Amino acid sequence: MEIQSDEGFQSMSNIKDINSNNFMSDVIEASRDIPIIVDFWAPWCEPCKQLTPLLEKAAFQYKDKIVLAKINIDENQEIAAQLRIQSIPTIYTFYQGKVVDGFQGAKSNSEILEYVKKSAGFSGPGEEVENLIDMAKIAIDQRNWNDLGELAQNILSYDPKSEEGFSFLIKSLIGLNKFSEVREIDAALDTEIKNSKIVSEILKTVDIAEKAFKAKENLEDLKKKLNKDPENLDYLFDMAIALFGNGEIEASFNMLLQSIKIDKEWKDQSARKQLLDFFASVGFDAKETVNARRKLATLLF
């Protein structure tokens, strides 16, 4: 006796009935390529009759990312014994030949959707995440920090440990001048994610951005000072920081380049060092950075 479920879902290629003959090939071996969610059920199990159709519908949404394998424990007692299935419904997710997640008992539809979504993420970013990453890079180029934050959250919903997702989220908060929120995330991050190259590099720019944000309050006063003394290196330096904090990236870079042109050794090459810090903060692929690096090379060499 089979659990009756929607005919359309029942016929989907990523939903299979499994027995002792094909368990090794269609679950253990197959899970090396794609996550396999295994539903242990029995015909007499009332909660199973509620859970299985919900699993099938959720699996259909991720038909290219997971397989749902259904095992009737009455007909496959050897498998149930080997996996120590003591109550049903029991749901296990297999990936890379081993159990990586699971639960027992009834769940709400939203909880099942979240579980299937999480299981689909074990195989790494799919096309959806790749598209989100591409969109996030465009948002960075356009300095659209609100959109970047939303895209970062979407990436993290697919992959809660995405280093790129966290780097985008932190960058968006820096762009919105929400420095205290960045530090809260910093304190809560897993060590592995925090120490990853992409995340650690963006975290290094927090103090630089916050200093520049505070400096923009002096923008008008610095403009007056520079009008009177346009080659004053202290004024040029402070103006560059204030402009950066005001979002005027190209103008900020030009101020520092002007300072370097006047005296590249000033205060132990402070202007060059500040420029390099700003490059890291904006991103080495940003158009302003690319242009400024070309000009810097001309001045230095």
3-state secondary structure of 153: helix
> In Å, how far from its chain's centre is CA 167?
7
Tokens of 190: 């897993």
CA distance 283 to 253: 13
Respond yes or no: is residue 45 known to be catalytic: yes
Q: Which of 3, 30, 48, 260 is catalytic?
A: 48
CA distance 255 to 185: 33
CA distance 208 to 217: 15
Q: Decide: 260 and 114 in contact? Cβ < 8 Å.
A: no
Can you count the helices (H) and strands (E) in the chain?
Answer: 17, 5
DSSP letter (8 states) at residue 17: E
Respond yes or no: is residue 150 known to be catalytic: no
Q: Which of 3, 18, 36, 45 is catalytic?
A: 45
3-state secondary structure of 39: strand
CB contact set of 30 (below 8 Å; sequence gap of 6+):
36, 67
Instruction: Give catalytic residues, as residue numbers.
Output: 45, 48
